[in-house]
C-alpha cells in the first residue's frame, strides 16, 4: 500500500502569512465550514476558503453541470458537462489541498439531514440558488438554534449584497420576514433584504430576463467572485474571532460597476415601514411583469455556421423587420430568401431597393461573423423567385483568417436620435469612412450650419407627412416596442429620441387613428419633429448622402454590393465612436411625389410629397 504523500500545509499557504499569523493559519486548518450549493457562488466559496487554508468542509448540491453554467460557475467547463457539481468541486478543492476533510452531500441538503450537514461546522455559508427559499429558511433557523454563524452573499449584477447572522443577533426570519407570505412576496422580501437600496437597477439592460415564473435571473461572474471574496473576508474574522462583523440588521451592498458601497441598518428588517412600502411597489411591478406574455425561450445555435447566422441576422432592415429566411441546402450551404413586398404594395419605394440594400448589409455581416470561425462567405445572386429574391451562400474554411475588427461592432451598432456633439469630424475619420464604401459609392458631406439645417428640414417634412397620414399609422402602431430597450422585432420607443412626456402622449395617441388624428390637429407634429429631427439634426457634426449608379443588367447585384459597403461604413462609424441615424423617409416620399403615386388619401400630404421631391433634389445637389 502506497504511503500517503506529505502535503506541506504551511509552505503551501505561506503567502497568507503576514495578513494572518502562522498560528491563525494553523487554526484555520482545524476549522469546518458547511456550504450549501456548489453552483454559482458556492463553488467559489469552497475554493476561496480552501486557498485561505480552511481544512474541513461539508458541501452539498444535487445538480450536475451543463453549458448554461459556463458564464459564472467555477466548476463548469467542457470536461465537466453532466458530472455532479459536488463531485467536481471536491476534486478541485482536493487539488488545492489533498488533506482536506470533505463531507459530500450529493443529494443536496434535505430536511432529514440538516443536523448531519451542520455537524461540527464552525460556520455556515449560503450558496443556495436565489429561488430556493424553503430549505434555506430551515438551515438558517437551525444555525440560529445551534449557535452557528451564517453568512449569505447574493451576486447582484456586478456587485454583491451581504448579510451576516451571528449567535444572539437578529435571525434570518426576523430580518427577511417570510412567514405567511406568498411565494412571489417571499422572493420580493429576499431581494429587498439583500439589496435594500437597489443601486444595481440603473444598469439592468434587459429586465425581461428577471423571470420569476421560470425561476431564472441574470447573473455575472463579477458578482459571483465578489460574493465569494466578501464572504471569505468575513469568514476569516468569524473563524478566528478576529475583529467584528456587523451582523443583521446591518447590510452591505458593494457594486463594482458603479464603484459604490452602500451600507444600511434595517432596524426592523423587512418589517420596517419603508421596506414594506418598497415591497408593495416591487410586488405590483413583478405582478405586471408576470401578466405580460412570457418571452419565448431563446433558441440557441447548434453549430458553428448557425452561430454565424445568429450573429449576422441582426442587420439593419426596414422597420427592423429582418425580411430574410435561411434554408439549408448542404454542408455549410444555405439559400437566403429575401421577402419582396413590392408585388403586394405598389408603393414600395423604388421597387424594393431598400430591402435589397438590407440584404447586402446582411451579406457583409455574415462574412464578418464568419471570420470569428476562420471562415469566409461565398455568395451568388440567384434571381427573383416566388415571393422574393434568392441568394445562395456557402461558408468556406480559411484557416489563416483572423477575426475581423468589425465583428464586435455588429451587436453594438444601433440607431440614435439624441442630439449629438458638434465636434467636427477629422479628415482621417472621413477618409476611413469613405474608404469603407469602396470605389462604387460616393459620399457627400453637409457640414455647415446652413447645410445641416437644410437636411434637417427635409427630415422634419418627412416626419410631418408620416405622422399625418392614416396609411402609416398601423405600421407605426405595430412597429414601436414600448417595453424593451433592444427590440428583436421592432423599434424601441426609447430610440425615437422623444422625452418621457412626449412618449406618453404618443403612446396614448397610438391606441387608435382617431386619437392620433385628433392629436395631430390639436398639437401638430412640430413637437415630435423638434426632438426627432431638429435637435439631432442641428446638434451633429455633419449630415451626409451616399450615391451609387445601378446598371440595368445587374441592378440587384449592384444593390447587394452597395448594401455590403453601407454595412461596413456603419460598423466603421461605430468603431470610431460615432453615432448616426439613417434617413430614408425623405427619399421615399420624394419618390412618391415625383411619380405622383397616390400613397395616401390625404391630398394635402400628396402635395407636400411633391414639394419635398423638389426640395430634396435642390438640397442634395447643393452639397455642403
Domain ranges of the chain: 9-173+219-267, 304-424+552-562, 448-540+584-624
Cell 406574455 belongs to: 293
Enter the pTM of the model. Answer: 0.75
**318 Rama sector, left if φ>0, alpha if ψ -120 to 50, beta otherwise:** beta
Apex 160 CA angle, 158 and 166, nearest 5: 175
The stretch 349-371 carries a mean pLDDT of 90
Q: What are phi and psi of 294, to 5 degrees?
A: -60, 140
Mention the CATH class of domain 9-173+219-267: alpha beta
Could you report the per-residue pLDDT of 563-584, keeping only the tens digit for each?
999 999 999 999 999 988 888 8
Could you report the per-residue pLDDT of 268-324, keeping only the tens digit for each?
999 999 999 998 998 888 787 667 666 666 677 889 999 999 999 889 888 788 889
Q: What is the CATH number of domain 304-424+552-562?
A: 3.40.109.10
Q: What own/partner pairs with CB < 8 Å and gap ≥ 24 does 143-148 have?
A: 143/118, 143/172, 144/171, 144/172, 146/118, 148/34, 148/118, 148/121, 148/122, 148/123, 148/124
Could you report the per-residue pLDDT of 138-197, keeping only the tens digit for each?
999 999 999 999 999 999 999 999 999 999 899 999 999 999 999 889 998 999 999 999
| Whether the bond into 249 is cis, omega within 30 of 0 | yes
Band (pLDDT 50/70/90 cuts) for residue 553 is confident
304-424+552-562 and 9-173+219-267 share a CATH fold: no
Could you report the per-residue pLDDT of 86-138, keeping only the tens digit for each?
999 999 999 999 999 999 999 999 999 999 999 999 999 999 998 899 999 99
Judged against a pLDDT cut of 70, whether residue 1 lies above it is answered with: no
Amino acid at each position: 500500500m502506497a504511503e500517503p504523500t506529505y502535503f506541506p500545509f504551511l509552505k503551501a499557504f505561506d503567502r497568507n502569512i503576514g495578513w494572518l499569523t502562522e498560528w491563525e493559519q494553523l487554526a484555520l486548518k482545524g476549522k469546518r465550514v458547511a456550504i450549501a450549493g456548489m453552483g454559482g457562488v458556492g463553488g467559489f466559496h469552497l475554493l476561496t476558503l480552501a486557498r485561505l487554508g480552511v481544512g474541513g468542509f461539508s458541501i452539498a448540491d444535487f445538480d450536475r453541470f451543463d453549458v448554461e453554467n459556463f458564464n459564472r460557475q467555477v466548476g463548469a467547463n467542457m470536461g465537466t458537462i453532466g458530472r455532479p457539481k459536488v463531485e467536481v468541486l471536491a476534486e478541485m478543492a482536493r487539488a488545492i489541498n489533498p488533506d482536506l476533510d470533505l463531507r459530500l452531500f450529493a443529494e443536496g441538503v434535505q430536511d432529514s439531514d440538516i443536523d448531519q450537514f451542520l455537524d461540527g461546522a464552525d460556520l455556515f455559508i449560503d450558496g443556495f440558488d436565489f429561488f430556493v427559499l424553503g430549505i434555506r429558511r430551515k438551515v438558517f433557523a437551525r444555525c440560529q438554534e445551534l449557535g452557528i454563524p451564517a453568512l449569505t452573499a447574493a451576486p447582484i449584477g456586478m456587485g454583491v449584497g451581504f448579510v451576516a447572522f451571528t449567535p444572539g443577533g437578529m435571525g434570518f426570519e426576523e430580518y427577511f420576514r417570510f412567514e405567511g407570505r406568498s411565494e412571489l412576496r417571499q422572493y420580493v422580501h429576499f431581494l429587498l433584504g439583500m439589496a435594500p437600496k437597489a443601486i444595481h437597477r440603473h444598469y439592468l439592460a434587459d429586465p425581461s430576463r428577471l423571470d420569476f415564473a421560470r425561476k431564472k435571473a441574470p447573473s455575472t461572474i463579477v458578482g459571483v467572485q465578489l460574493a465569494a471574496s466578501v464572504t471569505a473576508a468575513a469568514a476569516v474574522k468569524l473563524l478566528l474571532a478576529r475583529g467584528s462583523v456587523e451582523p443583521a440588521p446591518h447590510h452591505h451592498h458593494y457594486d463594482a460597476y458603479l464603484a459604490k458601497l452602500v451600507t444600511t441598518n434595517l432596524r426592523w428588517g423587512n418589517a420596517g415601514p419603508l421596506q414594506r412600502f418598497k415591497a408593495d411597489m416591487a410586488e405590483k411591478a413583478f405582478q405586471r411583469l408576470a401578466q405580460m406574455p412570457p418571452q419565448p425561450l431563446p433558441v440557441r445555435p447548434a453549430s458553428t455556421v448557425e452561430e454565424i447566422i445568429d450573429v449576422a441576422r441582426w442587420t439593419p432592415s426596414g422597420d427592423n423587420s429582418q425580411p430574410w429566411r435561411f434554408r439549408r441546402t448542404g454542408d455549410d450551404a444555405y439559400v437566403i430568401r429575401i421577402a419582396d413586398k413590392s408585388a403586394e404594395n405598389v408603393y414600395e419605394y423604388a421597387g424594393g431597393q431598400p430591402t435589397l440594400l438590407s440584404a447586402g448589409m446582411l451579406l457583409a455581416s455574415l462574412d464578418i461573423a464568419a471570420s470569428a470561425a476562420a471562415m469566409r462567405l461565398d455568395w451568388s445572386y440567384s434571381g427573383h423567385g416566388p415571393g422574393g429574391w434568392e441568394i445562395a451562400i456557402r461558408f468556406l474554411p480559411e484557416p489563416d483568417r483572423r477575426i475581423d475588427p468589425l465583428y464586435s461592432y455588429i451587436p453594438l451598432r444601433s440607431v440614435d436620435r439624441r442630439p449629438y456633439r458638434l465636434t467636427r469630424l477629422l479628415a482621417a475619420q472621413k477618409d476611413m469612412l469613405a474608404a469603407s464604401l469602396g470605389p462604387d459609392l460616393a459620399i457627400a458631406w453637409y457640414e455647415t450650419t446652413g447645410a445641416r439645417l437644410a437636411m434637417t428640414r427635409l427630415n422634419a417634412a418627412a416626419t410631418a407627412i408620416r405622422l399625418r397620414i392614416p396609411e402609416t399609422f398601423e405600421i407605426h402602431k405595430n412597429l414601436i416596442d414600448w417595453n424593451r430597450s433592444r427590440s428583436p422585432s421592432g423599434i424601441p420607443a426609447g430610440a425615437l429620441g422623444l422625452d418621457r412626456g412626449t412618449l406618453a402622449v404618443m403612446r396614448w395617441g397610438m391606441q387608435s387613428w382617431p386619437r392620433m388624428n385628433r392629436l395631430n390637429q390639436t398639437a401638430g407634429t412640430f413637437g415630435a419633429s423638434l426632438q426627432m429631427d431638429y435637435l439631432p439634426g442641428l446638434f451633429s457634426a455633419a449630415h451626409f448622402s451616399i450615391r451609387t449608379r445601378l446598371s440595368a443588367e445587374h441592378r440587384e447585384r449592384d444593390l447587394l454590393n452597395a448594401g455590403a459597403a453601407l454595412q461596413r461604413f456603419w460598423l466603421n462609424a461605430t468603431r470610431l465612436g460615432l453615432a448616426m441615424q439613417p434617413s430614408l423617409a425623405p427619399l421615399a416620399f420624394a419618390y412618391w411625389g415625383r411619380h405622383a403615386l397616390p400613397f395616401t388619401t390625404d391630398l394635402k400630404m400628396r402635395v407636400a410629397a411633391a414639394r419635398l421631391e423638389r426640395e430634396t433634389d435642390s438640397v442634395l445637389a447643393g452639397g455642403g
